[in-house]
Structure 1
Amino acid sequence: MFEKLLVANRGEIAVRIMQACEELGVGTVAVYSDADRDAGHVRYADEAYNVGPAAASQSYLNQEAILEAADRAGADAIHPGYGFLAENADFARAVEQAEGITWVGPSSEAMQALGEKTTARKLMQAADVPVVPGTTDPVTSADEVRELGEEYGYPLAIKAEGGGGGRGMKIVRSAEEAGDALSSAKREGKAYFDNESVYVEKYLEAPRHVEVQILADEHGTVLHLGERDCSLQRRHQKIVEEAPSPALDDDLREEIGEAARRGVREAGYTNAGTVEFLVEDGDFYFMEVNTRIQVEHPVTEEVTGVDVVREQLRVAAGEELPISQEDVEIEGHALEFRINAENPADGFAPTPGPLARYDPPGGFGVRIDDALRQGDEIGGDYDSMIAKLIVRAPTRERCLERSARALKAFEVAGVETTIPFHRLMLTDETFRAGEHTTKYLDEEVDDDELREAVERWGSPDVETAADGTATTNEVSVEVDGRRYEVVVEDGLPRAAAGADPANAGGTTGGNGAASNAGGATQVAAGDAVTAEMQGTVLSVNVSPGEDLSGGEVVCVIEAMKMENDVIAPAGGTVAEVPVAEGDAVDMGDPLVVLE
């Protein structure tokens, strides 16, 4: 086993890996950016090294700086976690070639083959795994997209070869949309994965998203640990995952599991990975392989009892997997809820800020994966995750009941979160019945329901002092013999998180602003369209002197790894555009001035 391992990542996944290392007696090394000097993963590690400025491109994506940190620390292994460099075959190759350092993951050759989606499709076809109709070679022009539209029919999906989690994927519903969608997919692929190559496939309208966890060692053992259902998504981003899938019967479950094993064996794959499928009308189609640990791996751990991260480390150290496929048993049901700093009432727009209160739940069957404590800052430089709430029970019905208890007890103040959304879903008949598809949230859940959920269960508004500390106080009061918990802000009582506003007096939650399809809400400040979040300008779509009719996209802001369209709320003539591509903006900064 290794002596010391560097985690080339941040946040909860870095802590999760360090926990597994600690149990194995392996020392841990954190890397951090300027923005993460006091982050939870830095506090947890045995030692830590700064690798650059806040921008991920200059820190967590800086391969040279990370390898230098590993050398300085004397680390003999590197684990990439998920995101950032986790699926970068060039980085894996650099680690493999570095003297005395082991890469914890599949080989760079397997990553290269399966990370490029067109190559992966060919491998899966060779292994007799069904694939969605589409291209097996990259597409470079809008005319090619239009030709494929004529062949397969619309809608089509343009996908970045290095993409995942909905990033680098654009839907084309007509020939007229091909050019803009292709440009956007290539831009996201370059920005997020340093690979602007894209491919095209038929877009399934209402599939289930089902994925299979794989473990393979260097001694010929290839296991699947059952499937996870990740169908509850917003804008192709997973938000709730569960194991096993409520949509599969035993026969289809066995078929998908064995198909995943065949596919990764064909690729000569080792270590942990996930084979993702789309399921529709009883048929399944290969979508992609994630050559890394997944955000949602805990639900598989909870129903199999297998510590996936521990086995990653053991496999990388050359050890054999301790079980065979026949030993893998699925017991009970598990759900994972991503607790993100996002406002469900505002198109799930990011809500960076300090955690004025952070009190996660506990109790039987409840697990929290996080790297935060009260007072920490949710910045706008990285993803919006606060924590993962994982709940396990003997049956799905009991798991839903236990989840409701845990979510009610989960207190966060200072930023809006996805907790109200999760509580809403636990009352939703379609979700409770397990009949939701990947389109359900975006197309069927009403915006008014989301706003009402945030008003009822959202984070209390919290004023902060100049030093960033909360100026509110939670106090207990008794009225007519009944005890209430209230938050006092400047002498004004508001209902505490979890309280019933009708009984406690006052309401909390959303800001009442209308949301747009891109996920960001803009408000007119005088004659300016302003940013309602911190982020980076990806593109500017208007110029001074241009006439707008209102409702048009004037620019695109990237915040917490999400593209957000900025919409002009009203018509007018563009008088000034004070920002340019690549500029960093703060909440309230003017983006476009109208006259």
Structure 2
Amino acid sequence: MFEKVLVANRGEIAVRVMRACDDIGVDTVAVYSDADKHAGHVRYADEAYNVGPARAADSYLDHEGIIDAARQAGADAIHPGYGFLAENAEFAGKVEETEGVTWVGPSADSMRQLGEKTQARKTMRDADVPIVPGTTDPVESVEDVHEFGEEHGYPIAIKAEGGGGGRGMKIVRSEDEAAEQLESAEREGEAYFDNANVYLERYLENPRHIEVQILADHHGNVRHLGERDCSLQRRHQKVIEEGPSPALTDELREEIGRAARRGADSAGYYNAGTFEFLVEEDPEREPGELLGPETNFYFLEVNTRIQVEHTVTEELTGVDIVKWQLKVASDEELTFEQDDVELEGHAVEYRINAENAANDFAPATGGKLETYDPPGGIGVRVDDGLRQGDDLVTDYDSMVAKLIVHGSDREECLARSRRALAEYDIEGIPTIVPFHRLMLEDEAFVGGTHTTKYLDEDLDEERVAEAQEQWGTETESEDSSDDDVVERDFTVEVNGKRFEVNLEERGAAQLATTAAAENGGGERPEPAGGSDDGGETVVEGDGETVEAEMQGTILDVNVAEGDEVEPGDVLVVLEAMKMENDVVASHGGTVTQVAVAEDDSVDMGDVLVVID
């Protein structure tokens, strides 16, 4: 077994991996960006190294920086968690080539084979795993989309080879949309996965999203740990996951599990992974009815890493998946047979995102956890990296914690979930806890008849607003009675390694900011033309302003000064929370100012375009 593992991630998954390491006596190393210097995963680790500024590309995605931190710390393994570099075959290959450091995950070759969706489809087809009708080679031009539509009909899904979770996927509902959606999918694939290749699939209108957890070792042993139902999604992003699926018969469940094992074995896969499938739902199915073995199911993709929702399977099986990732990476053999795997009861995971569900799930732009009191009791698990008083870091993902509830059956699990969510006390930031409580009163979810389209197409938004009003918590900080207490944190880095000093003084004056000190304590000067770091954009054009509705990065600017636009025209493409968001014109007119450029970072309320 390893002596010291560097966790190349942040947040709750970094803490989750570190806890598994502690359980088997392995020391841990955290890496952190400037934005995360006080983060929970940094506090939890045995030692921590700064790897760069807040921007992920310069810190958590910096291949050499992460590997160099492992060398400095003397780590003999790197665990990537999920997200960031977890499915980056190039990075995995670099770690494999680093003397004395082991990659905790599948081989770089397997990641290339299964991470690129067209190659994965070929592999599954050869293993007799059903695949959705589509292409197995990258799309070369918009004419390819037209030809596919003529053969298979519309709608068509255009998917990025390196994509996942809906990122890099665009839906074409008619020939007229093909060119625009193809360009958008290619751009998103390049931006997120450094791979602009895309492929085509027939788009299934009413699917369920079923995934199978795989564990495999270096000795040829492949096990599946049952399935998870991830059908409750918003814009292809999972919100609630559960297992077993409330919609499948045991026969269909086992058939899908065998298909996943065949696929893993054919690909020579080892370590943890998830084989995802789409199952065609029967729109006439009533609650309590189940989908039998005659139901069509199709391979979707392989996630060559640990999943956010792996916790559901752990609660059902008692198997510590992260611990087995470490054991497999250190060349240990799986000690259980497929027949030993039994699913006990029912488990559900609720993603606790810092978002306002009543405001189109807009992510929080800041805040402090004035109150943080997670639930407890039998059958309740919380994975997080937070503590009361922490500032919310908004530079990355919006998920701050995960609530996992287990019961003897689905009915008990949902009842226990209602209790646990009611106990979850978070104040200072918005969360989607009210949304989760609404789902536990929702007929479709409770009946298990929901599909991946349910939240986007069928859920009444007024019900979400009512839930937020009924169960939402305060997001504004109360005046503190300790205003005369000044806490000063000093972080010293020596060769990139972190050392901290914390001082708390009562009755002390606040330290002057650098800018104020440089100007004799006076006001910070306004730069000529434009804005300072905390100021507002100078609006020079005449007309109405179009502002950013959330924090993000500008991916594309589609207009220039002098352009004529119509209502609904896309002005700017804004990336926020790993999703592309089209900023459209609400009225027609002439563009008199474009205040942003490609790759600019913007905050909520920043002016993007002015239209007269």
TM-score, normalising length: structure 2: 0.86
SS in 1 for 2:452: coil
Contact 2:36-2:393 at 8 Å conserved across structures: no
Aligned partner of 2:256 in structure 1 is: 256
1:450 paired residue among 446, 464, 470: 464
Q: Which structure 2 residues correspond to residues 399-418 of structure 1 after superposition, within 5 A? A: 399-418=413-432
Q: In the TM superposition, what whole-angstrom CA distance separates every residue of 1:518-546 from its partner, at most 9, and x where no partner exists? A: xxxxxxx9821112322111112222222
Give the C-alpha shift of residue 186 in structure 1.
Answer: 1.2
Cα distance change of structure 1 residues 537 and 468 upon mapping to structure 2, 3 Å threshold: farther
Q: In the TM superposition, what whole-angstrom CA distance separates every residue of 1:478-524 from its partner, at most 9, and x where no partner exists? A: xxxxxxxxxxxxxxxxxxxxxxxxxxxxxxxxxxxxxxxxxxxxxxx
Asked if 1:576 is matched to 2:581, the reply is: no
Aligned partner of 2:519 in structure 1 is: none
Asked if 1:547 is matched to 2:560, the reply is: no
CA–CA separation in structure 1 for the residues paired with 2:69 and 2:333? 30
Aligned partner of 2:299 in structure 1 is: 286
CA–CA separation in structure 2 for the residues paired with 1:116 and 1:531? 33
SS in 2 for 1:378: coil
Aligned partner of 1:501 in structure 2 is: none
Asked if 1:392 is matched to 2:409, the reply is: no
Give the C-alpha shift of residue 378 in structure 1.
Answer: 2.6
SS in 2 for 1:398: helix
Asked if 1:308 is matched to 2:321, the reply is: yes
Give the C-alpha shift of residue 392 in structure 1.
Answer: 0.3
CA–CA separation in structure 2 for the residues paired with 1:464 and 1:542? 43
- RMSD, aligned α-carbons: 1.8
Aligned partner of 2:131 in structure 1 is: 131
Aligned partner of 2:495 in structure 1 is: none
Structure 1 letter corresponding to 2:126: A
Contact 1:352-1:377 at 8 Å conserved across structures: no
Q: Which structure 2 residues correspond to residues 26-45 of structure 1 after superposition, within 5 A? A: 26-45=26-45
2:374 paired residue among 360, 376, 386: 360
CA–CA separation in structure 2 for the residues paired with 1:193 and 1:83? 11
Give the C-alpha shift of residue 570 in structure 1.
Answer: 3.2
Contact 1:214-1:223 at 8 Å conserved across structures: yes
SS in 1 for 2:376: coil
Asked if 1:146 is matched to 2:163, the reply is: no
Aligned partner of 2:268 in structure 1 is: 268
Give the C-alpha shift of residue 547 in structure 1.
Answer: 3.0
CA–CA separation in structure 2 for the residues paired with 1:589 and 1:394? 50
Aligned partner of 2:220 in structure 1 is: 220
CA–CA separation in structure 1 for the residues paired with 2:422 and 2:586? 36
Q: Which structure 2 residues correspond to residues 315-334 of structure 1 after superposition, within 5 A? A: 315-334=328-347
Aligned partner of 1:229 in structure 2 is: 229
Contact 1:380-1:559 at 8 Å conserved across structures: no
Aligned partner of 1:179 in structure 2 is: 179
Aligned partner of 2:582 in structure 1 is: 565
Provide structure 1 residue ranges, at least 5 long, that are not aligned to the other structure. 470-524
Structure 2 letter corresponding to 1:142: V
Q: Which structure 2 residues correspond to residues 189-204 of structure 1 after superposition, within 5 A? A: 189-204=189-204
Cα distance change of structure 1 residues 468 and 96 upon mapping to structure 2, 3 Å threshold: farther
CA–CA separation in structure 2 for the residues paired with 1:366 and 1:536? 37
2:449 paired residue among 435, 440, 451: 435
Give the C-alpha shift of residue 352 in structure 1.
Answer: 2.7
Aligned partner of 1:8 in structure 2 is: 8
CA–CA separation in structure 2 for the residues paired with 1:182 and 1:466? 52
Aligned partner of 1:424 in structure 2 is: 438
CA–CA separation in structure 2 for the residues paired with 1:42 and 1:315? 26
Give the C-alpha shift of residue 464 in structure 1.
Answer: 6.8
Contact 1:352-1:384 at 8 Å conserved across structures: no
Contact 1:380-1:560 at 8 Å conserved across structures: no
CA–CA separation in structure 1 for the residues paired with 2:113 and 2:372? 42
Contact 1:336-1:389 at 8 Å conserved across structures: yes
Structure 2 letter corresponding to 1:300: T
Number of aligned residue pairs: give it.
541
CA–CA separation in structure 2 for the residues paired with 1:21 and 1:130? 37
Cα distance change of structure 1 residues 465 and 550 upon mapping to structure 2, 3 Å threshold: farther
CA–CA separation in structure 1 for the residues paired with 2:162 and 2:480? 43
TM-score, normalising length: structure 1: 0.89
Q: In the TM superposition, what whole-angstrom CA distance separates every residue of 1:2-41 from its partner, at most 9, and x where no partner exists? A: 0000011111100000000001100000111111111111
CA–CA separation in structure 1 for the residues paired with 2:482 and 2:166? 34
Aligned partner of 1:377 in structure 2 is: 391
Give the C-alpha shift of residue 463 in structure 1.
Answer: 4.2
